[in-house]
Structure 1
Amino acid sequence: MGTIFSTENLYTILSGRTHSAFNRALLTNFRKNNISLTKEQWTILGVLWKNEGCTQQTLADQTSTDKPGITRLIDHLEKENLVERHPDANDKRLKLIFLTPKGKSIEKEVMIVVNETLKNAIRDIEPERLEIVKETFLQIYNNLETKK
Structure 2
Amino acid sequence: MTSTGKPRPIDFGFQVARIARRLRQAVDAELRVLGLTEATWRPLVYVGRLGEGVRQKELAAALGIEGPSLVRLLDGLERRGLIERRETDADRRARGIYLTPAGRDLEKRAARTSGAIQRRMLAAIAPADLAACERAFRTIEQALDDVEQAVRPWEKGSDAQ
TM range (shorter): 0.7 to 0.9
> Within 1, Cα distance between the matches of 2:63 and 2:76?
16
Give the structure 1 partner of residue 83 of structure 2: 83
How much has 1:66 moved relative to structure 2? 1.0
Gap regions ≥5 residues in structure 1:
none
How much has 1:129 moved relative to structure 2? 0.9
Alignment partner of 1:23 is 2:15: no
Deviates more, 1:90-99 or 1:132-141: 90-99
How much has 1:41 moved relative to structure 2? 2.6
> Within 2, Cα distance between the matches of 1:58 and 1:3?
41
Q: Return closer, same or farther for 1:87/1:124 CA change in 2, 3 Å cut-off.
A: same
Gap regions ≥5 residues in structure 2:
149-161
How much has 1:143 moved relative to structure 2? 0.4
Task: Kindly report which structure 2 residues correspond to 1:9-48, keeping only aligned pairs within 5 A, or say none.
Answer: 9-14=11-16, 16-31=17-32, 34-48=33-47
CA contact (8 A) 2:45 2:110 kept: no
> Within 1, Cα distance between the matches of 2:13 and 2:106?
37
Give the structure 2 partner of residue 98 of structure 1: 98
Paired amino acid for 1:76: G
Give the structure 2 partner of residue 144 of structure 1: 144
Give the structure 2 partner of residue 128 of structure 1: 128
Paired amino acid for 2:108: K
> Within 1, Cα distance between the matches of 2:77 and 2:60?
15
Give the structure 1 partner of residue 71 of structure 2: 71
TM-score (norm 2): 0.79
1:62-86 C-alpha deviation (Å, 9 max, x unpaired): 2222111211111111111110111
Paired amino acid for 1:22: L
How much has 1:8 moved relative to structure 2? 5.6
Q: Percent identity?
A: 25
Q: Return closer, same or farther for 1:7/1:107 CA change in 2, 3 Å cut-off.
A: closer
Give the structure 1 partner of residue 155 of structure 2: none
> Within 1, Cα distance between the matches of 2:106 and 2:13?
37
TM-score (norm 1): 0.85
CA contact (8 A) 1:81 1:103 kept: yes
> Within 1, Cα distance between the matches of 2:13 and 2:56?
32
> Within 1, Cα distance between the matches of 2:62 and 2:131?
22
How much has 1:43 moved relative to structure 2? 2.4
1:59-116 C-alpha deviation (Å, 9 max, x unpaired): 1122222111211111111111110111223332222111111111223322221112
Residues matched between the structures, number: 144
